[in-house]
Amino acid sequence: MKTGILALQGSFHEHSESLKLIDKDYIFIRSLKDLNQIDSLIFPGGESTAMMKIQENENLFLNLKELIESGIPTLGTCAGLIILSNQSVEGNRPLGVIDCLIERNGYGRQNQSFEATVTFDNFTGEYCFIRAPKIISYGSVVEPIAFFGDEIVGIRHNNIVGLSFHPELTNDEHYINWLKVFLEKGFHVGTL
């Protein structure tokens, strides 16, 4: 079985590099035919509005939502978090699989991107925030799992993890170890 990486736009190649480090087979998802034989999903950073528009005629997201709701481990970073949220993206409805409200570009535009220390799954590392969304609120069944100072930058709901930042750009040992276990078991995400 393979990890499916949404490859409509964004940092999908960087996520494939992470998967190579843990010897995990993957497939780039661009159409419905790519959904066969995947056991986990990654929604990369990029431009959430562009991703929504690219797939709208194929109903790709409806099929992805069914897979996520079946319980497969699913990771969304940056724009991936926006797509997984139940917030509206410029009039379009995202997948709505994480009960949270997200502010797009909540940490600023492209020229305000930065690196910061994040506490994630009981370890601390330096991660990139690129036009990062801000988690404004979340439902009672959603757990905060990553923090930038006092701000929550990562959340989990059952088999789904959403991160405001880009761990795939640094691929530090802690993240890679976390990713391996998460994709295998879907629940090892830790809370503080």
Residues annotated catalytic, as ranges:
78, 166, 168
Q: Under a CB-based contact definition with an 8 Å cutoff, are residues 51 and 84 in contact? A: no
Q: Quote the longest CA-to-CA distance of the chain.
A: 42
Give burial (CB, 10 Å; 0-12/13-18/19+) of 167. Answer: buried
Return the C-alpha torsion angle 113, 173, 7, 159, nearest 10.
Answer: -100
Q: Under a CB-based contact definition with an 8 Å cutoff, are residues 183 and 24 in contact? A: yes
